[in-house]
Structure 1
């Protein structure tokens, strides 16, 4: 209270001086202003209540130090804000100001170290998780450093040590605080170490009825094991037995226990209608495996119900009887041969460079990757016997289900040059059909300076393919960080592989990247073309495609193109060609950021024509999306323009649609996006689109 009275007297004196002195040149000093704060921390919830102790200030601006914004926002104008953090270290800056415009800053470092619940994934590396287990009937358990990196677990990390005394049915169990729900992800995967062949039994308890699955280990050190359960129940107790019915003593290790979908299991390829082909030593799942039928593209589940026991370490042909469940739920019993063939030989990786001048990440040596909700490690290429990626080492990325934007990041020593390079290429492998792979470029220390250079969707399931991201010269010398998202907005714990992230071209090819960029290259796009701004009153750039793929994302490397022979005025149009089992499309993202109004009607119009039949199951779709601000935890709002069009005219038609944005300002803070696509169509179907206009009604 003394401070308040003191300040009041000073202000009164200042006002009297103005009244009685008038235009006197006497200088009246305002009270000294200082910024400052203290805080209280809820260590169990990560919630910080800031207490503002600034003196003689009138307004405040807080920067909470989030690298990626979360809810609540990363900034605040409140006097005493409350902020919820994830675990980490944050530099919080308070900017205090007075009426005369004077500014004072105060900063402090806050460390959030919340205890986290025990559940899957279980890595044994998080200091905030208590990995205690209950050992019984002679087993000794502890968490130790990986004693023998190699095989499927070649990183130095913490692992679980299990020492058997030699008694039957000795084991250990974890009481989980986060239950295992097998509704959609019915497979548990782990790395396990043993120097002798042994059986491992995984048992789930404290659910509707216990379930257990045994898997054999060959004794070759670290191996990746998969346990697939035939139930959709939930469990809160995980029990592990090593050599459950025997008396094998000794020490074993396990690590990286994660829950995955059946689609992430090793994929068995059905060759025609007769046989399954496996390379010698390949994993082979006899219960609940997935199969991709090369005849009709169906993804099926298969269960062995009879026949020979398959030994993938021995070359030969095995006769097996399968129950095959196709994608429509139809069940058939069929006889198939399992052919175990000699594997190929991987190629030694090219020399690796993480320099911005000649970027080429080949995994030939260690590389520093920033893990942001996803783990990274260099492993042996699990699929090198192919024409796309025969290298011996690849990068393995496993999302941890932390947030929708789980990603990995690579810092470079300088900023990327897209005057001398045309863009980036990357080879990817995913067991998930139509995996979206987004690459974003950022400036280190300035996340506001960033550019999403495109999202490509994989067209190959459980196989390698190379994705190409063209970047315009206007993005040169801006970015020195590469961020890779697999299946952005899919909050899963799936595993993906990538390799050969590198620069390509000489800067003369087609590029994208926003207004003012220079492009050129093939498909009638040679020469220099400047990406146009949106026409007055419109939101969508280059709706007539005359600047080639400026600002358009070509969502499929094969089917999405710019046609230079078909148009409805001008000389070009956007073109998508169907492919069975694949979505092929064109997209523009986050248009009109900062100008889109909530609860407002917008219109989309375009010219469109088709050639060729879509085929059974093939449909054309068109959507817009109201986008939240980038990095928030909110999803986009889908506006369906048309979702089930099975045929259209072979002559140009003008289509027009209306949609209304959601009511909340935060729901449109990231602008509007537009997408057209053909899904699961025949290769004979082609759609051309031209003169696209998106604007407020």
Structure 2
């Protein structure tokens, strides 16, 4: 709508002229008529007196108004209804007054009735964020019957200021709203006071992390949580000893404008023992032994030990038990043990057999050695037998006994032979 009426004819976009006809000039008030038409002292010479003036008296014209000489335009005015044009007398009588010249008209206005609108006392717009815009209906206000359409205006609070927003709010924040009833042909426009309300942040939904594990010696910072979760005091909190532990975590949603950050969420953590580096068991190399009575026995002789990590650890071999007695024939055991640098140990037992010594051949005195001639002679079969039956060194007494027994046996055989022969001859 056009809000201002020009004050002079020459600049007035509301002045119209057709051919030689007088101009029609729209003005806001009577003073403008004087300014354009002149004063009484020069009314006989000023052509302005032949114009037709229309005083809107505060009225304005819509932007699409069409002005013509044939029909005067109709202005509008807030709170009033236009009731036509009425001619009035100004401070002096214009010259050349006729049907189409020298007239002044003023708009007639009829005041509209007041309308009223107010929110109901029990209206409560506070709510938790739910992603849905605030909505008001005809059930939320009271308005004068027959009044115009109702619309709503919203403002959002920013610090200490209120800022206009173009639509009903959705996000969490502090807002205010007012209802405005539009002017119609009968009633004036009216509006309510501002009503403040709050859309509060909602609690986010989340799943508490499960199946979390840690190792003795770690802190919570070493335990990775799902997206959005964080340990409280992670850098300084130890996971503690082996077992099930409960610690507090914080959940931060992606949309912090509309959802709260949740703290003190109890999360269960399983703490496992620290995994030690695998250590190979050392090995002992020792073999079973056979000794003879009277032999010396060193249990550590020929015994070695080795370890995958430490290498040769023979010097660490120790004898746990040893019951070997070389003065008596028998079977004995020796048990060894070795321990590596990390505490791993192994044992091994061997068997030691002690036997009686084998009987040695008799030694020959130098005086009884055969001569070279005797050595060169080949022995007869009788010699071989004798040699084969010759007792071993150390059994001379036995040899004499065997000789006596042999002669006795021969004597007995001879006696038996003689007796059999005598019986045969009888």
TM-score normalised according to structure 2 size: 0.17
Structure showing greater radius of gyration is 2
- Considering fraction of residues, name the structure with more strand: 1
Higher helix share: 2
**TM-score using structure 1 length:** 0.11
